[in-house]
Structure 1
Amino acid sequence: MSKLNLIPVAAAAALLVSLQGQTLAQSADAGKTASNTRQVITRADQLPRRSVTLAMLPSAYLQAPLDEARKLGTQLEAQLLADLAAYDIQDPTTLREGYTALATLAQLRGDWAAVPGWTAKARALQEKAAGKQTSGVLTDLLSQQRLEQRDAAWLTAEVARRYSAMNWTEVQDVVKSNRGAVETFNPELLVGGFKAQLDALASNGQMVVPDRVAMTIVGARMQIELLGPHKQAIVKGLQQVLDANTRAVAKADIWTPRTFAIASDAKASPVLIGVWDSGVDLSLFKTGAARGLAFDDDAQPAKALLRPLGEAEARWPQLRTMIKGSMDQRAALDTPDSRQLRATLGSLKADQVKGFTEDMALAGLYVHGTHVAGIAVEGNPFAQVYAGTMLWSHKAEPAKPSEERSRRTAAAYRSMVQGFKSAGVRVVNMSWRYGPSAYEAVMAYHNLGGTPEARKLEAARLFKIERDALHGAIAGAPEILFVAGAGNEDNSADFEEYIPAGLELPNLLTAGAVDQAGSETSFSTFGKTVVVHANGFEVDSPVPGGVRMKLSGTSMASPQVANLAAKLLALKPELKPTEVKALILQGAERLAGADGKPGRVNLINPRRSAELAGIKL
């Protein structure tokens, strides 16, 4: 179970289906009240769960006659429409997912004229400027092409026309990312990803799967039907938009002028930063007397502070190229690394996907903690790193959850925080996040927990053991400031429950991600606990061995906040964590939203916070 807040480091990784999201759901008695009014839903755990019985393995639906998928679609569409009638869902993200699913189901049954109505409803719920313009556009165009029986030339022209009419400053990152994702689309990756995970889930459950898995099957089948044959036409249209904007003025960089570096001869004290992550190459950093503490994926004590690559060590140069290539591809950069990525993804066969994606997951875990540490110490010659290493699994098959395992995890959390305290750590960065839905997904994979409703309750119980332990451990370390990444699901942390991002404590800050221009990224999660933002888009930092890469995610935003905290503590070591937190919040700037009013982005301003602390720069 991956718990990192990093955007997938390869396009193929995104094709491994996440089972953690919640869909609209209805049980026999759900939504009924004395007055037959709609039941108000304010939290994800209020949505009931249900299952669907499949007629064949998920991967088989991707290649069987389309009518087989339509049988699933008919059931899912009736359920979704009933849900919208029964529930007053207060979460825009959940509603958006429901409307998007209905657009896909309309495509499945060939009702092309109905698609724009559903995508318009989903688009209206977008809260970010780019999403308001780009959401559902390709879905609409592919549906219109079928409805009007247009050719590839028409599709290319329409893609170029629609995207060219958008505000380039606001949508450029999404356009670049979309181009990269479409260009690397390969149906073999979908089939292979299904065989690696969803087929096992279905087999374990005797073909009874969560309804969201059925919707994933339908969505993947429609990608194969519509996107696969037309990807070159779409890429050509998007490339025309990119070419037309090559001379456009780059986004203003409002981030860099706000940052500062401490001079090596400044009057400052060493400050120890804990990097609670997937492992750190400590040879790249200064360390304290204590170098770190590690636990394996089973929450047992371990020795490795940098994740071992094992037999994949020989493949590391190629995997590093894949990581770099995926970042370049998303940025629409035609580099040797992005060309190698395209060639690799384009040539993969279904039976090779599992090994490739596990390799990429391993590589992601290998680079993540070191990259985060590099951001946390940037510009601070007095910073030292303490590795709090969690050796999470990279395997497609997740470990079985149990009370014993959760209690070991809880104990590991307490031990890790005690390790920070004993070492004298002043700031801890936590670029990871998960919630009870993760355990629901894993229990469904292994067919544990009984009925879907019972599984939901058991997942919440196991999660609570770990949540309470983490909350208590952080609360019991008031001398340390903890910083968490919000997450990369573009959803509300108020609707879903997560740790550590959803915890509210005096010595904890949760950060969302913006780009260098201060625009909220398309992926950043939001909510009342996400109280500050920092640059988390294409941030340059070292990976093991010292090679530098640009990675994106709230994983890259939270160590920017930890970086500021560590600098304040180096220059004024007498500050308490609550005082540092207050200085960061007081120095932050509430940026205007699309309507010109104060928005939800609260961008930290390191220089301003330093000035408030009485530090002369």
Structure 2
Amino acid sequence: MPTVPQDAAPTKRPVRTQDDLPRHRYPVTPSAEALLSADDATFNAWAAQVSTDIDATLRDYDIQDRATLRELLGRRLNIELLTHRNEAALATIAALRAAQDKPDAKLTSGLRAEAIVRARIATGQTSGPAFEQAFAKNYAVALDALPWAITGTALKEDRQRAQLMSPTLVDGFVRTDVEPIVTRERAVSDKPADDLIWARMMRQVDLPVQPLTITALGKVVAAKNVAKPDIWTAREVTLTPSDHPTPIVVGIWDSGTDVSLFPQQLYTDPRPRPPANAHGVAFDIDDNPTNGTLYPLTADQQRVYGSVIADFQGLNDLEQAIDSPAADAVRRKISGLPSEAVPAFLEQMKFYGQYMHGTHVAGIVARGNPAVRLAIARRTFDYRNIPAPPTDASVARGNAAAQATINWFRQHGVRVVNMSWGGTAGDFESDLEKNGIGKDTAERKALARRYFEANRDGLYAAIKGAPEILFVAAAGNSNSDNAFDEAIPSSFVLPNMITVSAVDRAGDEASFTTYGSNVAVSANGYQVQSLIPGGTTLESSGTSMAAPNVANLAAKLIALDPKLTPAATIKLIRDGASVSADGRRHNIDPKASVALLRTRPAFAK
């Protein structure tokens, strides 16, 4: 019988994907709001259960995924801040920074928390004039030491968050994301538990120093806010009649498009066969065939649309540290929302964000290419705070809709398809919890896995079954590894698919962008300007904006040489990209890729 040395460390459980992580359940009574407002002894006793499970997960599981480490360490830090374990918090902040991948995050993670902790240690207090003076000094010194070229965007984003946050907004987040679960379950799983702890930390630790935070960030932004250089203008390719481009059909597989904005760049089927329309196909929120290239607004929704556009513009201005009237208006509106109004406001913003999304993507794809012909495959994404629960029937309908969409693409000669959307197994699990489905975390996890795998396998087979079409996928906006998260479709590895991450105007990695070994290239996904329904232009950020920049390039390459296969097109895009010094980014260079195309012996023009 083999023997094991008594001092040998126990073997940790391997963690290859998010599905290998443990799940926990924490009772909450009588309500999330009551727990959030409870006395310190009551709340901290509840949070201690979460803390014990975090420590056990870090101790017992071999977690190589750095995003997961960051998530667990962030949860632990919030508990340490609430329970005034100051030295432990400093150690966690150091570990959190060591787990970062992106240069700006390595320098800015936990910066405000560290200033708070050091002020506590120096003064022996957690509030009052002496504490506030120490915090303000610590934070200002830390901010001043940061290199603006690396951290400027992160600091402006942090200022935006601080300007918008309020106690009622924090409470409103809990009403939106946690309270419905507690109402059904009288308990929460890991993510909503984390949300509760975050909300308590914001109330007791972060918001009390909010005015000082805004002042300090405002000073550093005012002193150092130098615009980053724009690398994309010099790389842009605009096709003209002298290029003799061949018309190319590109699928915008998204939330719908205002086709009136693209009269000369629209695919039209002369003999559409219902339920398809002249410009593509459409499916409703339940994945049943429907009509129309754009979700129809009610009269009430149309009336408020203009004010919603102003809100989005104000949020964009705040993100870029532009003190405009729109920025001031949306700041006052959001920070002044009563907590009971927050759920409806968030649902409204999600609805209109999705309503605008497909048109914005289409505008990026069509830019500078008179040969493009946009084909619209409309999906109706679920915008509700409590979405419809997944079932075997709903997954089957979703797979059938995806297959029908790709069949239509193939039948109508679509060469490139943009997919600025995605999902994970965790999304299925969350939707089940919000609907109170599953008697415990184990059953819920098993149900989610079944639904997810059926959805994944159906979508994978449909894309693989169209080898003549190049599919362009947005990596995601979760600042994590898409393979570990099992994100679909972005984690697929197929010869006819390319996955895209986001960088900013200077080509630096965006704070939000997902990454992964199959992410082939990066493109501008930060404050990208394009059209929205009705014809207004708006800037928007996300890998949703990066992917259509690659679809735009792919369409131009194929318009110049229709003989290109998906594999050849991907190679031209990758070979033309510029590689960052750390090797993390392969930023597309349309001019370089077109130049490579023109040197190919097979190029006939």
The within-5 A match list for 1:351-370 is 351-370=340-359
The residue aligned with 1:245 is: 224
* Higher RCO (CA-CA < 8 Å; seq separation 6+): 1
2:198 is the counterpart of 1:219? yes
Structure 2 residue corresponding to 1:270, chosen from 244, 247, 254: 247
Structure 2 residue corresponding to 1:116, chosen from 78, 82, 90: 90
Structure 2 residue corresponding to 1:401, chosen from 374, 380, 390: 390
CA contact (8 A) 1:41 1:90 kept: yes
The residue aligned with 2:149 is: 169
CA contact (8 A) 1:72 1:218 kept: no
Structure 1 residue corresponding to 2:280, chosen from 287, 292, 299: 292
Q: Tell me, in whole angstroms, the C-alpha distance in 1 between the residues paired with 2:57 and 2:355.
A: 42
2:135 is the counterpart of 1:155? yes
The residue aligned with 1:6 is: none
Q: Tell me, in whole angstroms, the C-alpha distance in 2 between the residues paired with 1:309 and 1:229.
A: 41
Q: Tell me, in whole angstroms, the C-alpha distance in 1 between the residues paired with 2:321 and 2:396.
A: 45
The within-5 A match list for 1:26-425 is 36-147=10-121, 148=123, 149=125, 150-205=130-185, 207-246=186-225, 248=226, 250-285=227-262, 286-290=265-269, 291-310=279-298, 311-425=300-414
CA contact (8 A) 1:400 1:443 kept: yes
2:485 is the counterpart of 1:511? no
Q: Over residues 405-430 of structure 1, what are the superposed CA-to-partner deviations in whole Å (9 max), with x where a residue is unaligned? A: 10000101101111111222111000
C-alpha distance 566-182 of structure 1, shift in aligned 2 (>3 A): same
Q: CA deviation at 1:467?
A: 1.1
Percent of aligned positions with the same letter in both sequences? 35
C-alpha distance 309-187 of structure 1, shift in aligned 2 (>3 A): farther
SS at match of 1:133: helix
CA contact (8 A) 1:48 1:453 kept: no
Q: Tell me, in whole angstroms, the C-alpha distance in 1 between the residues paired with 2:290 and 2:464.
A: 25
2:581 is the counterpart of 1:611? no
CA contact (8 A) 1:157 1:237 kept: no
User: Structure 1-normalised TM-score?
Assistant: 0.91
The within-5 A match list for 1:473-552 is 473-552=462-541
Letter in 2 for 1:199: E
Q: Tell me, in whole angstroms, the C-alpha distance in 2 between the residues paired with 1:362 and 1:252.
A: 34
Letter in 2 for 1:519: D
SS at match of 1:495: helix
Q: Over residues 70-107 of structure 1, what are the superposed CA-to-partner deviations in whole Å (9 max), with x where a residue is unaligned? A: 11211111111122221121111111111221111111
The residue aligned with 1:557 is: 546
C-alpha distance 76-317 of structure 1, shift in aligned 2 (>3 A): same
Q: CA deviation at 1:272?
A: 1.3
Q: CA deviation at 1:264?
A: 3.9
Q: Tell me, in whole angstroms, the C-alpha distance in 1 between the residues paired with 2:297 and 2:595.
A: 44
2:585 is the counterpart of 1:601? yes
CA contact (8 A) 2:255 2:355 kept: yes
The residue aligned with 1:574 is: 563
Q: CA deviation at 1:59?
A: 2.2
- What is the root-mean-square deviation in Å for CA atoms of aligned residues? 1.6
Q: CA deviation at 1:352?
A: 1.0
The residue aligned with 1:431 is: 420
Letter in 2 for 1:321: A
Letter in 2 for 1:614: R
SS at match of 1:438: helix
Q: Tell me, in whole angstroms, the C-alpha distance in 1 between the residues paired with 2:579 and 2:342.
A: 44
C-alpha distance 156-562 of structure 1, shift in aligned 2 (>3 A): same
Q: CA deviation at 1:35?
A: 7.5
Q: Tell me, in whole angstroms, the C-alpha distance in 1 between the residues paired with 2:320 and 2:58.
A: 37
Q: Over residues 544-593 of structure 1, what are the superposed CA-to-partner deviations in whole Å (9 max), with x where a residue is unaligned? A: 11111111110010001000000011111121222111111221222112
Q: Over residues 520-561 of structure 1, what are the superposed CA-to-partner deviations in whole Å (9 max), with x where a residue is unaligned? A: 111111111111111111111111111111111100100010
Q: CA deviation at 1:603?
A: 1.2
Q: Tell me, in whole angstroms, the C-alpha distance in 1 between the residues paired with 2:41 and 2:286.
A: 43
Q: CA deviation at 1:606?
A: 1.0
Q: Over residues 340-381 of structure 1, what are the superposed CA-to-partner deviations in whole Å (9 max), with x where a residue is unaligned? A: 101101221011112211111111011111111111111111
CA contact (8 A) 2:170 2:202 kept: no
The residue aligned with 2:4 is: none
**Uncovered stretches (5+) of structure 1, i.e. residues with no partner:** 1-33, 594-598
C-alpha distance 224-35 of structure 1, shift in aligned 2 (>3 A): closer
Letter in 2 for 1:216: D
